[in-house]
Amino acid sequence: MLTIKQLTQAVGQGITPRMVRHYHQIDLLPPPERSTSNYRLYSEADIQRLQRIVALKQQGFQLTHIKHMLSDSAASQGPEALLPQFQQQYQTVLQQLIKLRQTAMALEGLLGRDRGCQSTQAAAIAQLRLLATETQAAQSISEALWAQLDATTADHPENFSEALQRLLPDLSQRPEIEVDVLSHLVLACGDVSLAAFVKFSRDAIKAARESLQAGCTVVSDVPAVTNTLDQTRLAHLGCQWTTLIDNPHVNDAAEAEHTFWQSTDWSARLMPLIDGNIWVVGYAPSVLMKLCEAIAQHRYRPALIIGLPIGFSHAPAAKRQLMQLDIPYITVEGTLGGGLLAAVVLNRLAASLIEKPDCHCYLQGQ
């Protein structure tokens, strides 16, 4: 049996005796046994339960939901009993994200100003200090503020590179080509936070440049991705391109998934196209999943997989599967992605090879 101090030391993760006592008060932890001196005593089962609580907290679940998840009644009722609570928490988190996004948009509107617009920044910041919260006056001042800032934008073109220098996180330790890809991804979607979710395998850039230089074939999942590829540059490099699901009527992820599963021909056609080619998957998560399965089971070796399909369950799972493989890859964590972004990655890799054929920045630290 452990004391409360020994319990917190065994679990770690910043848990304190005060937090444990609070969990007892809200019935998240069961009442402990007591020693003859009335000290709390804890068993291995208590350690495991507290570890589960910590793990669920780290995933962002609220204590009320954790309590219900770990209760005996929830276990007997099955997962259906928890879904309404998960949906409720998701909507709460989503509203928090919206508020944070609104704050980020306001900051981007100030920090993203280039030199041609900076003359109004000082006045804008001074006005921001005067804003009262949740009043009609604040709204009118805010509208007047943006009107003043926006009035200067018609005098000159926007300087994207200046804005990105202020808004992007510190990328000084990243290879120059990676930074170029990340910058163009942000410009393609307008979301600076995307840069934090893009994942390059260690050898992704090297593999891309070598295979493109060798004139590999680029395989896209649907025509919408193929049509967005920089085919002029690919032809200059001696590369060819083809489409797995060659159906011009496929316009979104749902149609791509349905078409892929409608016939086994696509799955059979996938296998011979894997080895030595660059794959650009921007729509169908099942295409990426089947690719990963084929590589894991049959030891196929693509030159590179750019895996950015869209989806809310299969896409994140397929991307996690991709990142576990010992192959070159570029992907985006979670549900983010799309055909345009996938094509942007390939296009920038091809452009960097033509513009800077002798660049070896990606070899630093390898």
DSSP assignment of 208-231: HHHHHHTT-EEEESSHHHHTTS-H
Which pTM was predicted? Answer: 0.77
Q: How far apart are CA 193 and CA 82, in angstroms?
A: 31
Q: How far apart are CA 244 and CA 260, in angstroms?
A: 9
Long-range Cβ pairs for the range 213-216 (8 Å, 24+) = 213/237, 213/353, 215/239, 215/240, 216/276, 216/277, 216/278, 216/303
Q: Which residues contact 165 (CB under 8 A, 6 or more apart)?
A: none
Which of these ranges, 5-19, 41-55, 64-78, 160-174, has the smallest mean pLDDT? 64-78
Q: Which CATH number is correct for 4-81, 3.40.50.300, 3.40.1390.10, 1.10.1660.10, 3.40.630.180?
A: 1.10.1660.10
For the domain made up of 168-363, give the CATH fold.
Answer: Rossmann fold (3.40.50)
| Residue 38 falls in which region: left (phi positive, over 0), alpha (psi -120 to 50) or beta | left
% of the chain surpassing 90 pLDDT: 54
Amino acid found at 198: V
pLDDT digits over 219-233, tens only? 999 999 999 999 999
Q: What is the pLDDT of residue 137?
A: 47
DSSP element (H, E) containing 54: helix 44-58
| Mean pLDDT across the chain | 86
Q: Residue 309 pLDDT > 60, yes or no?
A: yes
Q: What is the pLDDT of residue 207?
A: 96
Q: What is the pLDDT of residue 354?
A: 96
pLDDT digits over 75-108, tens only? 566 666 677 777 777 788 778 888 887 777 777 7
Q: What is the mean pLDDT of residues 50-78?
A: 80
Q: Boundaries of CATH 1.10.1660.10 in the chain?
A: 4-81
Helix axis angle for 339-355 and 176-189, nearest 10°, is 140
| Residue 90 vs residue 208, higher pLDDT | 208
Asked whether the CA dihedral 362, 346, 349, 188 is positive or negative, the reply is negative
Q: Boundaries of CATH 3.40.50.10230 in the chain?
A: 168-363
Q: What is the pLDDT of residue 131?
A: 58
Closest CA to 218 of 202, 203, 234, 236: 234
Q: Residue 72 pLDDT > 90, yes or no?
A: no
Q: What is the pLDDT of residue 104?
A: 79
